[in-house]
Structure 1
Amino acid sequence: MSFLFQSLLSIGLPLVALPLVIHLINLRRHQKVNWAAMDFLLESQKRNKKWIMLRQLLLLLLRTSAIALAVLMLAGPVLMSQWGSLLGSGVTHHVLLVDDSYSMADRSQDSTGWDEAKRAVSQILQQATAKAGTQKITLLRFSSATDLSAGNELKFASRTLDRETIEAINSALESEPVTETAAGPSEAFQAALALPESETGESRIAYVISDFRSTQWTDNNQTRQLLGQLRQQVADMHLVQCVDLTHPNLAITRLEPESGIRAAGVETWMEVSVSNFGDQAAVAVPVAVTQDGHKLPAVEFDEIAPGQTVTRRFRISFPDAGPHQLTAQLPSDALATDNSRYFACDVPNSFPLLVIDGSGAGDDSYYLRTALSPGGSAKPGWSPRVEPASFLRNHDQLEKFAAIFLLDVPRLDESEVSALEDYIRSGGGVAIFLGTEVQRSFYNEQLYRDGTGIMPVELDVPNQLLSVGDEETPDVEVEDHPVFRIFSGQRNSFLSVAKVNFYYAIKHLQDLPGDTRVLARLRNDAPFVVEKKLGKGRVVVQLCKLSPSPTTLGVWSNWCVNPVFPVVANELAGYLTAARRNFEVREVGSELSFNLAEDEYQPEVIVRAPQSGQEEVLNLSTRIEGGNYEVDAGKGNVSGIWQFELSPLQQANARKFIAVNVAPSEGDLNLLDRENLSAQLEGIDYRYSIASQLTASEDQLAGFRLGDTFLALLVIALIAEQCLAYKASYHGGVGGSSR
């Protein structure tokens, strides 16, 4: 016989001695009083002493038995013998919650955590089939928990356990390997709590088969709370740990362009980040890079400290327009799943830019267009288009531009301001260059708007930057920012030739909000370039006129004729357009869906999944909104480059790539051992086992519950105790007298 709540035995069984203690205490309270008739009573006591002692012993035995039966009943006795079917209920429901997130692919020698999980499931099934009574099984994989909320059903839910069911479960686990998801225990517990309630007489046992990683279990109040709720609904809970050692692991956690992709033929800086989840430094780590199937020079990491993430930059160039892919690969280690990371993008020939020039002679746009698109053999990848301010009223056309530049624009009407603000909040980038035409009151009242508008600062009057007689101090000092990377290191000498004569001062310099940042300052510490984040987009303001043409005040600066200004202008355009030049990178488990214009494409798409290369033909239906086809390939449950073959109406077939990557956090293989897990789950009653040590004879939970039987015995014992106590003259007679 075993018990579902063994901890209650250690607390309750000592209470069995309570009637004996009370009896002994009462004996000490008796006092000797000699009186005349005492000899007759002593003689009578001698004749009835044996019968009185027997009744007292029987009464004491019944009272101790009543306490023992109450404790045993609450402890949940389970009898494994066939004889238990005569006394208790015989339906045991095993609920198996199996972790199949990709950390379970952690390899140690010739086995993985997933191998140990499958072995544990097999052992539990063998244990259950060896027991008497009806056995049921429900198998819930962590990765399928979210599918249940969408209305899907479990494949193995409340199935009667027989040989056919066992073979089906083992076959399913073998044919469906560990997933690449980062499915956690919380979703699985929520799904288990949503299962139908236990039937009358059913004993439900929950098994959590996992690797118990620190990132998912440490200080996770939600997981602990849900596990506690599940424990209250089941007769017992068994935690089975499939990995017993923490292995060092490196993971590629990021592969993205530094400031958005560039056009075809334009060099792009990419960033690759590697995280060290181990407890020792990793040295001389190479990352192999492949672009469109061609190997590039490896990116070397000299050293990555324990628990640290290091980022390196490397250059690439996509030679032609269209879809492109990039793969970064680490050498093999304990966990291969996170050693690869993928990137995909659709590269255009150029990105359109909208330029609104309000300067009198239109000279500001001349210098900007020359810097961004000089012509000739150069391929900067930008297509500047100069328009008047009224063009901003075309809301639908603004979305086609990667960024917008306002050059010395005097003012805008209300609809133009609204369109510009909507553009920024939706992810657009805007650069504002001030000048003599700017109407300061309009900018402060309508664009700054007490800090709620698109202007990052409130303007004061133009000031002159006075000479200090120190030729070694440059007029402009830049911060560490992607726009001004050209001035870093030895190239700082270019700043010495940048001259600024006039600039707009700003009000309330000490009260800049947290979403505003100064990117460049003048030598008198006055801001020169200021940035503000608004919604998903950003605004960069230069507090000086762009062109060096003379004005009523004089020449404002020679900034745009600096030898490196074309580089700064291109970096500024790249920085502003980064949010709108999206690349197709998603996480495993996310929906792979996008829209196609009905008037440009045929309603058929071929999907090729990575790794397996399996094809699926999707026949599309037109969505009601906007007349677009919706391409929905379901969830991307496999990492890699997903390829979509499109069928345009007026040209040859086209392709679209979507990169799907694993969640980086799942690569942290630090786990909780038995002691740390117990500390995290303090107050929750459970049993713990290591999967590699689990044997078919270990389970003692499947059997017949005898709670009702012990309750009946308790009632009988209490009735017998009352009757015997009455016979033993411990209850008052009629009228309150004693016999």
Structure 2
Amino acid sequence: MPSFDFLPLLWWGLPLALAPVIIHLINLLRHRKVPWAAMEFLIASQKKYRTRVLLRQLLLLLLRVAAIVGIALLFAQPRWRSAVGAFLGGSRTAHIVLLDDSYSMSDRVGESTAFDRGRGVIERILEELVSSRHSHELLVGRFSTISSTDSATPEDLERKETTRWDVTRQMVSPQSVQAIRNEIKSLVVSQSAATPREAILAATEMIGFGSGTSNVLWLITDFRSKDWKVADETAAALRQLSDQGVDLRLVDCAQGDHGNLTIERLDVVGGVSAKGVLVPLEVTVRNSSDRPVRNVSIDFKEDGAARPSVRLEEIPARGISSQRLESIFSTSGSHLISARLENDAVAVDNTRSTVIDIADYVDVLLIDGDPNGGSRTGDAFFVAAALAPGSGVATGLRPRIEPPRALGELDLKTFDAIWLMDVERLDEAEVAAIERYARSGGGVVFFLGPRSNATTINQLLYRNGDGLFPVPLAGPVDMLVDSVEKSPDVIVQDHPVVAVLSGQRNPLLGGVSINRYMAVERGYIAPTGSGLRRLLELRGGAPLAVERPYGEGLVVAFLSTASPTWNNWARGNPSWVVVMLELESHLAHVSRKALSLEVGDRLEVKLIPGTDESEVDFLLPPDGAVLRVAGTIDAAGSMTAELEAATIAGPYAARWQRTDGSEAEKLFSVNVVPEEGDIERIGRERLDRTLSGVKFTLEKAAELRPDSESFAGISLVTPFLYGLIVVLLLEQFVAYLCSYHSLSRSNRIG
């Protein structure tokens, strides 16, 4: 028999069906006297057509009553729950439940988290279904464990259910309810940043392969802005389900609007990662609340040992604040640095760690353009002296001076940066080698001088902007002496390398005299998007030092000499050493950047066949559980051991034996995705805009009262709608037959 989702609307609408009858009776009481001469003809006609007219009027009355009843039924949302429904396709309802387990669901308010409330919603749905007298199927999965498949055959989906869904598709019955209840209680929130999109696509694949004739999709999540503000693919998937007649039930598990602090970044910023050298680090904290937060303390640990805390005075509303600190490592190897905030609403993003690989020395390659080499007055000597001054001053850098041919002979990846000093010419192989190095993230510096040829550089290195060199050159130019205003020859630009020298009339740069430089081609304007920046400018506005990205790396060109040939900067001026060290740090920041891994990423260890054993032990957080993984050899002969996915944040270690009996170790730092810590709510109004055209219901988890009767059986809305259209068309046709229509003038004349 039929039932209705909104029965009160039916009771309010049915009395309106009496309106046509009442209007008809009122019209019968209204008599008009019309003068008429030929009464005998009128009486005869009335006797002849009386029955036909009464039948048409009765049919018209019934059609109008039926139209009003049909509209009331549509508003009441009828469903069919009888044997006829089973004959039409079955009266079983399939429930697919998608539970958000991203770490924002660990947001705690009072004694419960959003995930606890979501799990409680599933338990209430289960209790309602098992008490129903109708048949229900249930399928439950968490966002982080389910994703769409490339194929959608029944066999693939059956396999996917077994491996990915927490509760596989099954009938809800008194016999199965306890096992389902135990499975739901065992679900825990993950540390992933899983989004609704993949889960909804997975649900789309499962709909249609079950035995249910009606489908209900439960989407239980916290509706954070980051997932729903711009969600075109998610909205498209839900729109497709809605168009297919799937009943979409959205449940909001979050409570209240409050902020959260997230450690967004912990990285090495510049410096040299070598033992005995100060290594600068920077920690950044994001505030996702609408109010500023003050006096935030951050605790640090270095290889497990506590370090002094740092304090952030204020983090602006919906903004970030950063603080720098320094470490000195006495031993080479991998070192673990961790930062931690006090616990707040979401605890898992209050911790972040990074692994720093400390070397004994960092090698820097200096290409000396002097064919004689080794001169204590050449460019390479002055750069090497700045990078490694000696006399007890540790920089961690080890300059290596080589001729240009070394570019084609050495493994350039082993060098922190490459400096080319007044090189007359490079062959094609050497140019190709240094361009590969820069494209892959290396830093390159050019110093020009008497041996540098503008035409050669333009042809081989600039190549109309496609090459390595940042700008086209015109040739060497003498710098005119300013004997009147006596302005400084060098002007500092807005760039981190020379930030320490910024300020008007800097005394360190005031003593620098430029006698000669290589001029940039007249009229040259950097293309939009080239990334060209100036570090230093000459009096008069000509560039002295420029920078341009090349691939993943950076290239800097000083348009004068490093030695005191065209200028006197390197002769006893402390700013020379400062700028050279800052430049080396700036160039190498890409290659020195620590490996950043997030929850869900693969951990990979490269092994050397014949040198390393083939098995690797991965030590997993938080308690150091060991997982042994066998390495695999690919077609190229490379051997790799992989941990498929890191499921929780924390430090990981990989240990393996070498064939000579020694042990090797590699540390990994895995962190949560910081964007997931932004717990801003989207709100109903914006959600309606995002899901425009999607028919859904949205309820609060605490207020949800699932009613199995409201979604059991077959929806009759569509057939009733088609029936109503037919009734309205018939009503118009019968009304036309019952009305009076005068003949056209031509018919009357004929």
TM-score using structure 1 length: 0.87
Structure 2 distance, partners of 1:535, 1:377, is 37
Mapping for residues 315-334 of structure 1, pairs under 5 Å = 315-334=326-345
Contact kept in structure 1, 2:440 and 2:553, CA below 8 Å: yes
Q: Residue 177 of structure 1 corresponds to which residue in structure 2?
A: 188
SS at match of 2:115: helix
Greater CA drift, 525-534 or 190-199: 190-199
Q: Residue 593 of structure 1 corresponds to which residue in structure 2?
A: 604
Structure 2 distance, partners of 1:281, 1:50, is 84
Q: Residue 98 of structure 1 corresponds to which residue in structure 2?
A: 99
Q: Residue 534 of structure 1 corresponds to which residue in structure 2?
A: 550
Q: Residue 559 of structure 2 corresponds to which residue in structure 1?
A: 543
Mapping for residues 303-702 of structure 1, pairs under 5 Å = 303-362=314-373, 363-375=378-390, 377-394=392-409, 397-469=411-483, 473-487=487-501, 492-508=506-522, 511-513=525-527, 514-548=530-564, 555-559=566-570, 561-625=572-636, 627-650=637-660, 652-697=662-707, 700-702=710-712
Q: Residue 158 of structure 2 corresponds to which residue in structure 1?
A: none
In the TM superposition, residue 49 of structure 1 has moved relative to its aligned partner by 8.4
Greater CA drift, 202-211 or 675-684: 675-684
Contact kept in structure 2, 1:430 and 1:538, CA below 8 Å: yes
Describe the shift of the 1:3–1:515 C-alpha distance in structure 2 as closer, same or farther (beyond 3 A): farther
Structure 1 distance, partners of 2:182, 2:483, is 84
- Paired AA for residue 348 in structure 2: T
In the TM superposition, residue 104 of structure 1 has moved relative to its aligned partner by 0.6
Q: Residue 194 of structure 1 corresponds to which residue in structure 2?
A: 205
1:126 matched to 2:96: no
In the TM superposition, residue 471 of structure 1 has moved relative to its aligned partner by 8.2
- Paired AA for residue 479 in structure 2: L
Describe the shift of the 1:123–1:463 C-alpha distance in structure 2 as closer, same or farther (beyond 3 A): same
Greater CA drift, 591-600 or 329-338: 591-600
Deviations 1:56-113 (A, max 9, x none): 4465225532674488479752257999879994210111111111111111111110
TM-score using structure 2 length: 0.85
Root-mean-square deviation (CA, aligned residues, Å) is 4.2
Structure 1 distance, partners of 2:30, 2:330, is 104
Greater CA drift, 20-29 or 251-260: 20-29
Describe the shift of the 1:491–1:371 C-alpha distance in structure 2 as closer, same or farther (beyond 3 A): farther
Contact kept in structure 2, 1:373 and 1:382, CA below 8 Å: yes
Deviations 1:158-200 (A, max 9, x none): 3222345544444334334111111111222222222242557
Structure 2 distance, partners of 1:481, 1:500, is 20
Structure 1 distance, partners of 2:211, 2:233, is 30
In the TM superposition, residue 220 of structure 1 has moved relative to its aligned partner by 2.8
Contact kept in structure 1, 2:478 and 2:516, CA below 8 Å: yes
1:288 matched to 2:302: no
Aligned with 2:236 (options 201, 225, 250): 225
Greater CA drift, 633-642 or 27-36: 27-36
Contact kept in structure 1, 2:132 and 2:709, CA below 8 Å: no
In the TM superposition, residue 5 of structure 1 has moved relative to its aligned partner by 9.8
In the TM superposition, residue 370 of structure 1 has moved relative to its aligned partner by 2.2
In the TM superposition, residue 282 of structure 1 has moved relative to its aligned partner by 0.5
In the TM superposition, residue 645 of structure 1 has moved relative to its aligned partner by 1.4
Describe the shift of the 1:29–1:216 C-alpha distance in structure 2 as closer, same or farther (beyond 3 A): farther
Q: Residue 109 of structure 2 corresponds to which residue in structure 1?
A: 108
Q: Flag structure 2 segments of 5+ consecutive residues without an equivalent.
A: 151-160, 741-750
Contact kept in structure 1, 2:272 and 2:396, CA below 8 Å: no
Mapping for residues 702-713 of structure 1, pairs under 5 Å = 702-703=712-713, 705=715
Describe the shift of the 1:340–1:500 C-alpha distance in structure 2 as closer, same or farther (beyond 3 A): same
Greater CA drift, 374-383 or 200-209: 374-383
Mapping for residues 68-107 of structure 1, pairs under 5 Å = 68-69=69-70, 72=73, 77-78=78-79, 89-107=90-108
- How many residues get paired? 722
- Paired AA for residue 379 in structure 2: D
The percentage of counterpart residues that share the same residue type is 37
Describe the shift of the 1:70–1:696 C-alpha distance in structure 2 as closer, same or farther (beyond 3 A): closer
In the TM superposition, residue 221 of structure 1 has moved relative to its aligned partner by 2.4
Contact kept in structure 1, 2:109 and 2:255, CA below 8 Å: no
In the TM superposition, residue 284 of structure 1 has moved relative to its aligned partner by 0.8
Describe the shift of the 1:583–1:712 C-alpha distance in structure 2 as closer, same or farther (beyond 3 A): closer
Describe the shift of the 1:556–1:512 C-alpha distance in structure 2 as closer, same or farther (beyond 3 A): same
Contact kept in structure 2, 1:544 and 1:557, CA below 8 Å: no
Describe the shift of the 1:204–1:444 C-alpha distance in structure 2 as closer, same or farther (beyond 3 A): same
Describe the shift of the 1:29–1:707 C-alpha distance in structure 2 as closer, same or farther (beyond 3 A): same
Describe the shift of the 1:9–1:531 C-alpha distance in structure 2 as closer, same or farther (beyond 3 A): farther
In the TM superposition, residue 279 of structure 1 has moved relative to its aligned partner by 0.9
Structure 2 distance, partners of 1:387, 1:59, is 103
Contact kept in structure 2, 1:261 and 1:578, CA below 8 Å: no
Deviations 1:528-577 (A, max 9, x none): 111110111110111111112xxxxx543333642243333222222222
In the TM superposition, residue 431 of structure 1 has moved relative to its aligned partner by 0.7
Describe the shift of the 1:377–1:655 C-alpha distance in structure 2 as closer, same or farther (beyond 3 A): farther
In the TM superposition, residue 654 of structure 1 has moved relative to its aligned partner by 2.4
SS at match of 1:145: coil
Greater CA drift, 461-470 or 250-259: 461-470
Describe the shift of the 1:425–1:85 C-alpha distance in structure 2 as closer, same or farther (beyond 3 A): closer
Describe the shift of the 1:47–1:485 C-alpha distance in structure 2 as closer, same or farther (beyond 3 A): closer
Q: Residue 137 of structure 2 corresponds to which residue in structure 1?
A: 136
Describe the shift of the 1:31–1:399 C-alpha distance in structure 2 as closer, same or farther (beyond 3 A): farther
- Paired AA for residue 219 in structure 2: V
Contact kept in structure 2, 1:124 and 1:699, CA below 8 Å: no
SS at match of 2:324: strand
Q: Flag structure 1 segments of 5+ consecutive residues without an equivalent.
A: 549-553, 731-739
